[in-house]
Amino acid sequence: MAVRPRRSALYMPASNPRAVEKARALDCDVVILDLEDAVAPDVKADARAAAVAAVAAGGFGRRELVVRANGIDTPWGFDDLAALAAARPDAVLVPKVDDGAAVARHAAALAGAAPLWVMIETARSIFRLEEIAAALADAGPGGGFVLGTNDLAKEMGARPGTLRAPFQGMLGMAVAAARAHGLVVLDGVFNAIDDDAGFAEQCAQAVEFGFDGKTLIHPRQIAACNAAFTPDADAVAWARAIVAAFADPANAAKGAIRVEGRMVERLHLAQAERDLAVAEWAAAG
């Protein structure tokens, strides 16, 4: 089963050479070089050139390299997309996508050179999640959602707290829309860098919702995030039991079987295989 774990996705400013170099050795699954929020207007062009150079230089190992461009409606957006279409990172992330038409505009500018990921961070986007997901699927394989909960909270005037009560319906709908169209879906950031307990609690919530992983703002969050999104020993043992049971020729024609006293259907087999693949990825890191 081909699985590309994206447990931890760390934002790094593309304008900071030391940060970019450091990212090559960190234990995150995804590095997001940022041309948008983390970069001042007067160095946008320099940051773009640095991101393109980083993609060309490589050296990120098994880490997926994503670049967040400026919005297409900004003075830098089209130039960012043109440069990234030529550079071909693993994916291009774009901000503040409100609807399917915006997805189509960004996809046209990239011309299929890289998978398109979009930030879900505006109030308008929440009411168009399925439309946006469908447009991403139409744009080509490998598309994704990244939740931008800070911008969403600002626009709504919300005060979400660790378990994000105002957002829970939106989080679930975002995951459902992404899954309906075969997209990557990553949770938003946790701002309190030194609040380890709060971070662990929010990671656990993201796992419950079904996110692939979580976006991060500091390297110290990586280990805890990876641990949260990696099946533990009990989950791995259970997954192995499910896979072994369905591999038994006696169960070849069965849609549901009994495993260790529990009823298991074939739909559980796919999740078991995914859990094992993520655990193997983590062990090989």
* Domain membership flag for residue 166: yes
User: Is 147 contained in some domain?
Assistant: yes
Q: Give me the chain's average pLDDT, please.
A: 96
Domain boundary at 228, 243, 273, which? 228
Q: What is the mean pLDDT of residues 267-283?
A: 94
Residue with tokens 């774990």: 5
What are the E-state strand segments in the chain?
8-13, 30-34, 64-68, 91-94, 116-120, 144-147, 184-187, 213-216, 256-259, 262-265
- Whether 1 is in a domain gets the answer no
Residue 65 belongs to some domain of the structure: yes
Bind-site residues for substrate: 68, 121
Q: Which of 228, 244, 263 is the last residue of a domain?
A: 228
Residues 141, 115: contact at Cβ < 8 Å?
Answer: yes
- Look up the domain containing 242 and give its range: 233-284
CATH number reported for the structural domain that contains residue 32 in this entry: 3.20.20.60
Look-up of token digits 């979400």: 160
Q: What is the pLDDT of residue 237?
A: 97
In this prediction, residue 117 carries a pLDDT of 98
- Looking at 228, 252, 271, which one is the last position of a domain? 228
Domains of the chain: total = 2
Q: Say whether both 201 and 273 belong to one domain.
A: no
For residue 40, what is the DSSP state?
A: -
Residues 137, 251 within the same domain: no
Cα 266 to Cα 180, 237, 240, 257: the distances in Å are 19, 17, 14, 8
Question: What is the C-alpha to C-alpha distance for residues 204 and 61, in angstroms, rounded to an integer?
Answer: 27
Regarding whether 104 and 152 lie in a shared domain, the answer is yes
Residues 64 and 29 in one domain: yes
Mark whether 178 and 208 lie in a shared domain: yes
* Cβ neighbours of 7 (radius 10 Å): 25
Q: Are residues 102 and 238 in the same domain?
A: no
Dump pLDDT digits (tens) for 69-98.
999 999 999 999 999 999 999 999 999 999
* Same structural domain, 85 and 171: yes
In a domain, 2, yes or no: no
Binding residues for Mg(2+): 121, 151
Residues 242 and 106 in one domain: no
Residue 11's nearest CA partner among 71, 42, 51 is 51
Report residue 2's pLDDT band, with 50, 70 and 90 as the boundaries.
confident
User: Is residue 265 a part of any domain in this protein?
Assistant: yes
Indicate the SS3 state at residue 7. Answer: coil
- Using one digit for the tens of pLDDT, what is the confidence trace for 191-245? 999 999 999 999 999 999 999 999 999 999 999 999 999 999 999 999 999 999 9
Query: Is there a single domain that holds both residue 111 and residue 223?
Result: yes
Domain match, 212 and 238 both = no
**Same-domain check for residues 97 and 162:** yes
pLDDT band at 285 (very low <50, low <70, confident <90, very high): confident
Question: Does residue 3 lie within any of the structural domains?
Answer: no
Task: Please indicate, yes or no, if residue 26 is contained in any of the structural domains.
Answer: yes
* Same domain (yes/no): 136, 61: yes
β-bridge pairing 8-13 and 30-34? parallel
- Comparison of pLDDT for 2 and 95, the residue scoring more: 95
pTM confidence score = 0.95
- The annotated binding site is made up of 68, 121, 151
The CA distance from 189 to 10, in Å, is 9
